[in-house]
Structure 1
Amino acid sequence: MKPGIHPEYREVVFRDTASGALYRTRSTVTSDQTVEVDGRTLPVVTVDVSAASHPFWTGNQRVLDTAGRVERFHQRYGRRPGARGRG
């Protein structure tokens, strides 16, 4: 690697605002805020969603009723369910 052109790769902490979870990892992201973790002062980056609060990972995902939506569309626009259009 060429010296002096790459950002510093260091330990940082990501904080999830929804759950308050802290994730310690390495990154080139910069931040003015710091937090003390295990006796070390590290830069902290605030994120809105992480695996601790995302519906897919927490199991709180909504299941959409797509069949009901399709039936309502057919009723609204006068089509028979299962009828194929000319293509």
Structure 2
Amino acid sequence: MKDKIHPKYVDCEITCLCGNVIQTRSTRDKLNVEICSNCHPFFTGQQKIVDTAGRVERFRRRYENVNYGKK
């Protein structure tokens, strides 16, 4: 390998929005992530649905009587 062309490989601290901190190694010293295995619904078994101002219900009401592809 050539000398002085590769980035430094240092200890890295990954911080999630939930407060979880993971220590690893990377070319960056700090990383901020929005979701990790401690707060991801797949790993926790819980599902969070953030519905702002009833958008899901409004969508369902709008398209409840639409029959696509049916004659």
Same fold (TM over 0.5): yes
Name the structure 2 match of 1:57.
43
Amino acid corresponding to residue 47 of structure 1 in structure 2:
V
1:48: how far off? 0.8
Partner of 1:23: 22
Q: Which structure carries more strand by proportion?
A: 1
Aligned CA-pair RMSD: 2.3
Q: Point out the structure with max Rg over C-alpha.
A: 1
How far did 1:3 drift? 1.1
Paired letter, 2:34: D
Structure 1 segment 3-82 matched on structure 2, within 5 A: 3-17=3-17, 19-29=18-28, 43-61=29-47, 76=67, 77-78=69-70
Unaligned 5+ segments in structure 1 are: 30-42, 63-74, 80-87
Task: Give the structure-1-normalised TM-score.
Answer: 0.51
Q: Count residues in correspondence.
A: 54
* Percent identical: 34
